[in-house]
Amino acid sequence: MAKRIDVSGLTAYYGSHKAIEDISMTVEPRSVTAFIGPSGCGKSTFLRTLNRMHEVTPGGRVEGKVLLDDEDLYGAGIDPVSVRREVGMVFQRPNPFPTMSIFDNVAAGLRLNGKYRKSELNDVVEKSLKGANLWNEVKDRLNKPGSGLSGGQQQRLCIARAIAVEPKVLLMDEPCSALDPISTLAIEDLIGELKERFTIVIVTHNMQQAARVSDRTAFFNLAAVGQPGRLIEIDDTERIFSNPSVQATEDYISGRFG
């Protein structure tokens, strides 16, 4: 079910500004890959190119190849909408739909794609909420608005919403940066469970978090402000944090950055 991502020679632009340049990497299925690096180095931009959300930004365009199990996401005739059904995304700030109840939020992906029956929806919603470790907290108030939950619960609601459509890959853009340590722990545990079923890519500023949750870690950096971000290296998380092969990575990780 989970799929492998193969990126080769990927360059992304905002208008005429080159945000990231010539990135190539492989993301293994059923694993957690963490992206670390300073602000503005293009981690989030790169993440958004993996499900074609980058082009939603006005002026956003991409060169290069992203293969999802041998199929090029940027190939001719590929529908970005179907790509996003395969590659789900969780954002930095929890963003449940304010007009919808908790139930409707989780069902949104299926219902908005318009092909599910009521009984099926009930099952999918329960399964997804259980998958996001939120079921016990909300099962008695599924019809209440999702915006009434706490920040951590809202973020898990967003994860439930994303996994309800059964994507092959789950992208997470700093999912814990707006949360307290306890909610962060809940979501990190959840990531550990979800990697049994999905390929997970997570952007984080928290290096301990990268060390805790990920199997492989990629370090991004930029030469100077205004220069495009580049992939410095990607390796097993243990190796990156103990014995990285590039000096810049070691400097960044040990806090001797800049």
Partner 1 sequence: MSTAAVTDKRPSSLRGASLPKWSPWAIAAGSVVVAVAIGLIGGLSSKIQWGLIAAILFVLGTYGIAARVEGRRQAKDRVATSLVWVAFLLAVIPLVSLVWTTVSRGVKVLDVYFLTHSMGVVADSEPGGGIYHAIIGSLEQVGLATVIGAPVGILTAIYLVEYGRGKLAKSVTFFVDVMTGIPSIVAGLFILSLMLIFEMQPFGFAGSLALAILMMPVVVRSTEEMLKLVPNELREASLALGVPKWRTILKVVLPTSIGGITTGVMLAIARIAGETAPVLLLVFGNPFINNNPFEGAQASLPLYIYQQYAQSAGANAAYDRAWAASLTLIAFVMILNLVARGIARWKAPKTGR
Residues that bind partner 1 (CB under 8 A): 51, 53, 56, 58, 81-86, 88-89, 91, 93, 95, 97-99, 108-109, 112-114, 144-145, 147-148, 158, 161-162, 165, 167
Of 163 and 232, which CB lies nearer to partner 1 in the complex structure? Answer: 163
The distance in angstroms from the start CA to the end CA of the chain is 42
Query: Based on CB atoms, which residue is closest to partner 1, 144 or 239?
Result: 144
Nearer to partner 1 by C-beta: 21 or 173? 173
Minimum separation from the CB atom of position 85 to partner 1 (A): 3
Question: What minimum distance in Å lies between the beta carbon of 31 and partner 1?
Answer: 21
Q: How far is the CB of 192 from partner 1 (least distance, A)?
A: 22
Cα gap 96→215, rounded to integer Å: 29
CA 66, 84, 47: angle at the middle one, nearest 5? 50
Which three-class secondary structure state does DSSP give residue 46?
helix
Q: Least distance in Å: CB of 89 to partner 1?
A: 4
Which of 1/56 has CB closer to partner 1? 56
d(C-alpha 117, C-alpha 195), whole Å? 28
Q: Please identify, using beta-carbon distances, which residue of 32 and 158 lies nearer to partner 1.
A: 158
Find out whether 213 and 191 touch, Cβ atoms under 8 Å: yes
Nearer to partner 1, 51 or 204 (CB): 51
Do residues 20 and 12 lie in contact, with contact meaning Cβ atoms separated by under 8 Å? yes
Rg (C-alpha) for the chain, rounded Å, is 18
- Which residue do the tokens 């074609």 mark? 52
Within the chain, where are the H helices?
43-49, 80-86, 102-112, 118-131, 135-138, 151-164, 181-194, 207-213, 237-242, 247-253
Q: How far is the CB of 148 from partner 1 (least distance, A)?
A: 4
Residue with tokens 């100077």, as numbered in its chain:
224
Cβ-based nearer residue to partner 1, 59 or 192: 59
Closest approach, Cβ 219 to partner 1, in A, equals: 25
Q: Are 188 and 176 in contact (CB under 8 A)?
A: yes
In the complex, the smallest distance separating the C-beta of residue 101 from partner 1, rounded to whole angstroms, is 9
